[in-house]
Structure 1
């Protein structure tokens, strides 16, 4: 897929639907690739900054896509999109966007948080979405791509089967699918982070918690 880096190529492979909305479209290349490859029929790009809005307009000219200047899901009507993506933001920003208009989040959503993916996983649990896929892409650092789907048989108490039998803190921090697969790459990354955190003279509460969780995972 032209103009897409590795992380966005992985995001694109997760998408196949009628109408797809991309929040924070930046350059519009993700939607262009999805439309050009036939993975979607219609695209909606939403951007809250003037220059990225103009960039997306130029990229998507001639395609079945609409570019909107709006703040997150304020630019999307409930039920308008079949699938949603938010890429390249911190987990805090992604959750803020989702929580602002929860009724406008479609049943399929793909996120690529630059930091704090655990906040996105926690949002999914409380919002009754299941984590059906998580993939690591390599670039400036390790990017995690998370695909969520909302089951049709929603219950008052939601339990995502991806977390069954796992240490919940560890699964939220590092991903339930990653914990189950325990690939050599995943374990190597944990050992490297463990060595780095152990080398520090002083750890804050968050870092100390990460170190404790990593130590538990590697001891299994």
Structure 2
């Protein structure tokens, strides 16, 4: 069974379903570990680059998994997967993939943006998905792992979506920093915010985005 780093271990812990699609599978190690551990019954690996596609084919040879060369959700049919994961991309790229084929996003989505997780959280609210859980995995930096579940209380044509994860919170702060993190207020989370506050205050000039982030952090702590 392939070795998973702390980031992919944290992702794997959020997955248990029948058929799971991993978008941007790269080496295919996540799917192989999920299959070997019995957390999924069947895997679909999707890559849009030839070399990573070949890597996934080699890793998943002999496994109950399809390896497909395709661009994002173009590689699966609506309803084919029970769950999907997209890991190691920026929030902009993840949202682009999800919005290209919204009818093909399954009821459960585990998303690990390397940056701009607030864009992914905002996508979920627009698309009627609840943020069921969020975790931090440590590696080269702090990785955010988000698990979303399709709301059963909002029909496709409803204009507003209420996610209880955001109840009682400053919405801007919750989108930027994570509602579950704000509810839990773990010591590691607060320490990381204080360190970022110190760093941002030390800069001679701040972008508009950084200025907003600093203001949000200072409201929270």
Q: Scaled by the length of structure 2, what TM-score is found?
A: 0.97
Residue 163 of structure 1, aligned match among 162, 166, 170:
166
Report what 2:127 is aligned to.
127
Matched length? 218
Q: CA RMSD in A?
A: 0.8
Partners of 2:70 and 2:3 lie apart in 1 by 24
Show structure 1 runs of 4+ deviating over 4 A. none
Report what 1:52 is aligned to.
52
Unaligned runs of 5+ in 2: none
Residues 17-166 of structure 1 aligned to structure 2 (within 5 Å): 17-155=17-155, 156=158, 157-166=160-169
Partners of 1:195 and 1:153 lie apart in 2 by 42
Residues 5-20 of structure 1 aligned to structure 2 (within 5 Å): 5-20=5-20
Partners of 2:92 and 2:60 lie apart in 1 by 28
TM-superposition CA deviations, 1:42-68 (whole Å, max 9, x none):
100000000000000000000000000
1:114 counterpart SS class? strand
How much has 1:151 moved relative to structure 2?
A: 2.1
Partners of 2:206 and 2:153 lie apart in 1 by 43
Q: Scaled by the length of structure 1, what TM-score is found?
A: 0.98
1:86 counterpart SS class? strand
Report what 1:190 is aligned to.
193
Unaligned runs of 5+ in 1: none
Residue 210 of structure 1, aligned match among 203, 207, 213:
213
Contact 2:95 2:119 in 1 (8 A): yes
Partners of 1:121 and 1:141 lie apart in 2 by 20
Partners of 2:122 and 2:151 lie apart in 1 by 17
